[in-house]
Chain A
Amino acid sequence: MSSTTKKKNKPSLIIQHNTIDQKSNRVVESNTKSEKEKKQDTSTSTTTTTDLSTTTTTTSTNIQQLQEAVIEETGEISSLSLFQKAYRYLGDWIYLTNFNFFCNLLRYGPIPKHIGVIMDGNRRFARKLHIETSEGHKLGFTKMLDLCQWGLALGVEIISVYAFSIENFKRPKQEVEYLMDLANKKFEEMISKTHKLQKMGIRIRVVGDLSYIPEKTKSILARAVLATQHNTRALLNVCMSYTSHNEMLHSMNTISNAVKDNVLLPEDINQELFEKCLYIPDDLDILVRTSGEYRLSDFMLWQTCFSGTNFLNVLWPDFSSFHFFYIIFLYQSNYQEIQKQRKKHLIDDNLKQEQIDRVKAFQNKLEQQHQEFLQEWANKHFD
């Protein structure tokens, strides 16, 4: 890509300031329903702005229309004093220029196509700040959306995120129910056209063994997936009820069922076909795990075979754009090695034309089935 075309694609991000309301120990996100609810509360009870004590700014900043955006923000948050508004404006501007600088710097090198993230550390973060774990999960979710924005600004095409593992169903029932509720709320918001993800043009896929998920959540997820289906700028794979072993077994079972039904022959089975039948068919370029654990915990074991690994000691809600740039920088310094290793292990099966045709027909059939599944669940409504 020439430098001129790069400059044309300026990233446009959306600010969000999260504050922790000390009285109720809940996270209040700007620009969302919770902020509006809070405003209504404060207007009726006529309390002052001393409620906003700790501000954790999970910012994603707007480059093209900075002033307008900030005025929009500050227009909504009328409870802030003028000084606080100016302070926030300055902070955003500084953040923006830094973000711009690093973004443009990194764009001169190779940008990863697919990033995978294990978002670990929400509960520890909540304990650190003495808020409930449920609020920690909320912050984690907003951080995930921020990550999408940073990725999009840099040009990353696919981001895969480990939201919920099949093992996590063994956690206490309350927590699991809360997480499903959170998913319900957040994914329902995504269906509307004015949501951040729609504006950014990000397509969502929900990946995993969906049979373990409760029905209401399933229908909301199906609707969210269908709503964002036609966005093309980037792809976000949300792994819910997912383990890598499950994914590989699923792939093997679909292939063997196809062989049994005579759609495919055993000779057609090769590594490429196997990978196409996985939930996530693209290989990872970078794998990130926050909170300092050094395990993979059954996340994309197949796709990480030749990827760069980053085990960071940061908790997930603390993950900032600077950590993100650091990871990309490491990737760029390891790039030659990774490409060398991948080239060595390229498979080149010479398939005959009829084999190729069979495989394509099989793939189309799979996609069709998946689409039907989504439609079926989107049409069911639960209260």
Chain B
Amino acid sequence: MHLFLLNTSTIVPASLFNLINTTSTTTTTTTTTTTVNRSNTNKNTTNNSNNNNNNTSTTIVDKELVKYAVDCTQYQPHTIPNYIDSKLESKDILKQNSVPSHMAVILSEDTIIDDNNNSNHNNNNNKTQTELFNRCSLKLCDIILWSIFSKISRLTIFDPTGLLKKNIDTLQTIIDEKMCYDTLYGGSKNNIIHIDWLNNNNNNNNNSNIDKLINLNNIGGIKHYFIKIGIVSVEDGKLNLVDITKKFARESKLNNSTKALDDNYIQSNLPRYMGGEDYEPQVAIDFSNQNIFSGFLPWHIKLTEFMQYGMIEKRCGK
């Protein structure tokens, strides 16, 4: 239960679950509004107050939500942005600062590597590997889409196997195609998605382009969505810090300076896909099935809330 106390209602399983609850309340809005048994206690209190104050307006909102729930269950991705927007706007307590600006996604090994292959069938190995890779990248597209429309501005994807990072070019092409050009998906006529791949090194171009596009936002009914994505693996954790230590040791020896290492030095020396102003993820969704930390970046997770997908799923099943 306590998992839902976090204000990150933008995570879709949780929000879908709440939506299922709202469908049940539309039938009983007149009678029992205080005894609604929802798992998110924050929403509980505000909904009770909303319902008590204004019975008629909430029924209208609920009907719209029902419509979108039906849409979502039929999985039409282009309705998702409106659905998420309406969710965010209808509940007044969900102000902007309750949505995390930087989210981390920790993948499990099973989604990327298939360990159950026989060594005899080498060709099949490669095929299943690429299949898995494609499936994984398409699933990532879903997550990226949801986080874009939930106004999360930065995603860090952690892959314990290192495969995603090695094949980052193919990953980028797959995701770019699906997101930006596939009109049945997120990139419909009115929504244009721009992904800033932090692993690439073209700094200046991206910044100027994004500024131009921000100015063009909402002209002609076209919305531009931006998101920064960084892909990280295990070597970027500890080994990076050791490298920074080496660098600092060499510099301080050369310059004979007595300055001590501090947070700012480390932050400014992190590579682009791990550094920047908002380098700490506020929320991390953990898709591995066990209660294990899989070596996610040690320096960044000082105040990160961890949510384990395995645990959330079980509660949805109830």
B299:A274 contact, CB within 8 angstroms: no
B293:A313 contact, CB within 8 angstroms: no
Kindly identify, within residues 236 to 252 of chain B, every residue whose CB is under 8 Å from any CB belonging to chain A: 237-239, 241-242, 244-246, 248-250, 252
Residues of A within 8 A of B290 (CB): 308, 334, 337
A307:B242 contact, CB within 8 angstroms: no
Kindly identify, within residues 298 to 328 of chain A, every residue whose CB is under 8 Å from any CB belonging to chain B: 298, 301-302, 304-311, 313
Q: A245-B299, A259-B253, A269-B242 are in contact. Are A253 and B260 (CB under 8 A)?
A: yes
Q: Does A169 contact B (CB under 8 A)?
A: no
Contact with A along B276-318 (1 / 0, CB 8 A): 0000000000000011111110110111111100000000000
B305:A305 contact, CB within 8 angstroms: no
Contacting chain B: which of A148-156, A197-205, A218-226, A288-296? A288-296
A307:B292 contact, CB within 8 angstroms: yes
Q: Given the complex of chains A and B, what is the CA–CA distance between A341 and B301 in angstroms?
A: 19
Q: Given the complex of chains A and B, what is the CA–CA distance between A306 and B160 in angstroms?
A: 11
B249:A256 contact, CB within 8 angstroms: yes
Residues of B within 8 A of A309 (CB): 291-293, 306
What is the interface residue range for chain A against chain B?
Answer: 35 or more
Q: Does B234 contact A (CB under 8 A)?
A: yes
Q: Does B121 contact A (CB under 8 A)?
A: no
Q: Does B177 contact A (CB under 8 A)?
A: no
Residues of A within 8 A of B143 (CB): none
Of A251, A292, A313, A341, which is within 8 A of B292 by CB?
A: A341
Q: Given the complex of chains A and B, what is the CA–CA distance between A266 and B238 in angstroms?
A: 17
B302:A252 contact, CB within 8 angstroms: no
Q: Given the complex of chains A and B, what is the CA–CA distance between A256 and B3 in angstroms?
A: 42
Q: Does B212 contact A (CB under 8 A)?
A: no
A294:B307 contact, CB within 8 angstroms: yes
A297:B303 contact, CB within 8 angstroms: yes
Shortest Cβ distance from B315 into chain A, in angstroms? 13
A345:B242 contact, CB within 8 angstroms: no
Q: Does B205 contact A (CB under 8 A)?
A: no
Q: Given the complex of chains A and B, what is the CA–CA distance between A249 and B249 in angstroms?
A: 12
Q: Using CB atoms, name the residue of chain B closest to A309.
A: B291
Q: Does B262 contact A (CB under 8 A)?
A: yes
Residues of A within 8 A of B306 (CB): 294-296, 309, 311
B292:A295 contact, CB within 8 angstroms: no
Residues of B within 8 A of A304 (CB): 293, 298
Q: Given the complex of chains A and B, what is the CA–CA distance between A256 and B304 in angstroms?
A: 29
A301:B238 contact, CB within 8 angstroms: no
Q: Using CB atoms, name the residue of chain B closest to A272.
A: B242
Q: Does A260 contact B (CB under 8 A)?
A: yes
Residues of B within 8 A of A245 (CB): 263, 299, 302
Q: Does A255 contact B (CB under 8 A)?
A: yes
Of B237, B249, B296, which is within 8 A of A269 by CB?
A: B249
Residues of B within 8 A of A249 (CB): 260-263, 266
Q: Using CB atoms, name the residue of chain A closest to B305.
A: A294
7 extra interchain contacts, Cβ-Cβ under 8 A, other than A244-B298, A296-B306? A260-B256, A266-B249, A305-B237, A305-B293, A305-B298, A308-B290, A309-B293
11 sampled A-B residue pairs with Cβ under 8 A? A245-B302, A251-B245, A266-B253, A274-B238, A294-B3, A302-B238, A305-B238, A306-B294, A306-B295, A309-B306, A337-B290
